[in-house]
Structures are given as structure tokens and as C-alpha cells.
Amino acid sequence: MTQWFRRESLGGENFIRGYNPDPTQNPIKVRNRIRASQLITQSIEIQYTLFEKKSHSNMELGLDQIWFFDIGLGGETFQQMINNKPIMGFGIGFRIFVSGVGTIRLDFGFN
């Protein structure tokens, strides 16, 4: 029973963007691959500046855009991970830089 507390979700902002962390909110064909205790993930992002950081009345603001591709694989055992198919997500995002606040991330992912 304790294995349920050690499960991670491939979906969501931490791993594969474009999938919901709740398995029941995803397409039927990937529901059984969203949560697992063992995960392997990889993300590739291309980021470039849309508006360089500039001071506006004592506040520094800037905007970057990203394109991303995420892929992940999960399972309860190594053999199960080998037998499962990976899930993939892709999309675009924005990084808003605000002095005093930090970076605000807005990502729009698709699966």
C-alpha cells in the first residue's frame, strides 16, 4: 500500500507539459502511463528574447519566448518501463522577468 505514496505524475508542469497530472483527465490510451514510481524524462527548450530587460520607473521588465519538447517514460519496475511507450508533449511558453518578483512562466503544452 505504501507504493501509492511514492508515485509521481508524468503530466503537469514538472515533467511532461500538455498532460494533466490527474490520469483520469487524459486520453484513455495514456491514462495508465501517467503515474508511476520510476520516471525517466527529458525536456528540450529553445529560448529567445522578445523584449530585452529594461527599466521602467524603477522596475526592470523583460520577455522571452520558448519552444519546448518533453518526453517521458514511467513504470513500477524496470521491465515495465521498457515495455511501456513514452508520452510526449510540445508547445510554446513565455518567461516574464520582473525585478523583485522573479520569473513568471506561462507554458501552453499539447500532446
pLDDT in tens, 9-57: 998 888 999 999 999 999 999 998 899 988 999 999 999 999 888 887 8
Site of grid cell 486520453: 27
Query: Alpha-carbon distance 103 to 62, whole Å?
Result: 9
* Residue 5: pLDDT over 90: no
CB 109 within 8 Å of CB 66: no
Strand ranges, E, within 28-75: 35-36, 38-56, 59-75
Residues in Cβ contact with 7 at an 8 Å cutoff, skipping those fewer than 6 apart: 35, 36, 37
Its pTM surpasses 0.85: no
Site of grid cell 522571452: 64
